[in-house]
Amino acid sequence: MSQDNINKTAVFASIQALFNSFEPAFAETYVREVVGIIEDEPVDFMFRTKLLEQWVAKHPACQDLEDVLFDLLLVHFLAAELHEENYFDSAEWNEIEQKTLDKGSEMLNLFLYLGEAKETDAEISLEDFLNEFLLVGEDEFQDEYRIYESLIVNEHLLEADLGSLRLLKDKVKEDTGLKDFFIPIVLFFQYLEDPAEEANLAIGLNAFEAAIYDSLIAYSKV
C-alpha cells in the first residue's frame, strides 16, 4: 500500500473512531455519509468543504467535531497522489488557503505529523512533534511556540494524572486554539504504547475528549 493510501486509510479509521466515541448510536450512518463527502475526489475541494458544512448543520449534535472533520478532509485531500510537489505554489492551493483561514483546528498539525512519522518510520513522541516537526525551538517559528507553549513548558506533563491535566488545561490560553484538545493530545502521547489503558480514563473524559483521543489512536495505528 502506498503512503498516500495509508494516510487515506488512517483518515477513515480516525473518522470511524471519532463517531464511535461521540455519537455511537448513529456512528455507522454518520461515518458512511462523512466518508462519502471526504473521499469524493473528483469533486472540487471547496465544494466538498461546503458539503461538510451542510452535513454538520443538519447534525447539530456533531457541531463540536466540525473543525476536526475539516482537518481530516484536508489531510485526505493532501494525500491525493495527483498533487505534485509544486502544488503548494499553485493558484488553486493559494485560493484554498485564503478561503479556509477560519476552518480547522490545531489537530491538523498533529495528523500531518503522524502521517509524516509513518512515512519516515520516525518514533512518535511529544518531543519529536514539538522539536522536529513544529520546530518550536527555532526563532522563525515562535508563533508555533506560543500556540504549543502549554505542551512545552510543563516539564512533567507526560507523567501527570488526569486531575493535574485538568488544572493545567485551565491555564491554556483561549486564543491558542489548543485548550479543548489539550487533554486528549497529552493522553495520546502518554498512552501511545498502551492505548487500551484509555478504558481506565473513560470515567474522567467527556465525550469530545474521548472522541479526539480515540481518533488519534486510530490514525496512528493504521
The SS3 call for residue 121 is coil
What average pLDDT does the chain have?
89
Q: Is 102 exposed, middle or buried (0-12, 13-18, 19+ CB in 10 A)?
A: exposed
Can you give the pLDDT at residue 197? 59
Domain that holds residue 136: 3-221
Can you give the pLDDT at residue 3? 62
Q: Residues 87, 118: contact at Cβ < 8 Å?
A: no
Q: Does the pLDDT value for residue 42 go beyond 90?
A: no
> DSSP label at 170?
T
Can you give the pLDDT at residue 6? 74
> DSSP label at 132?
I
Task: Please tell me the distance from the alpha carbon of residue 209 to that of residue 220, in angstroms, as a whole number.
Answer: 17
Per-residue pLDDT band for 147 (boundaries 50, 70, 90) equals very high
Tell me how crowded residue 34 is: count the other CB atoms within 10 A of its CB: 25
Q: What is the pLDDT of residues 176-220, one digit of tens each?
A: 999 999 999 999 999 887 766 555 565 688 999 999 999 999 999
Q: Which of 67-76, 96-105, 137-146, 182-191 has the lowest mean pLDDT?
A: 137-146
3-state helix, strand, coil in the chain (%, to 5): 75, 0, 25
Q: What is the mean pLDDT of residues 95-120?
A: 93
Q: What's the pTM?
A: 0.92
The total number of structural domains in the chain stands at 1
Residue with cell 495520546: 188
Q: What is the pLDDT of residues 44-81, one digit of tens each?
A: 999 999 999 999 999 999 999 999 999 999 999 988 75
Single-letter code of the amino acid located at 51: L
Q: Which of 58-62, 92-96, 173-177 has the lowest mean pLDDT?
A: 92-96
Can you give the pLDDT at residue 90? 84
Per-residue pLDDT band for 129 (boundaries 50, 70, 90) equals very high
Can you give the pLDDT at residue 186? 95
State in Å, rounded, how far the first CA of the chain is from the last one.
Answer: 11
Can you give the pLDDT at residue 204? 81
Can you give the pLDDT at residue 68? 98
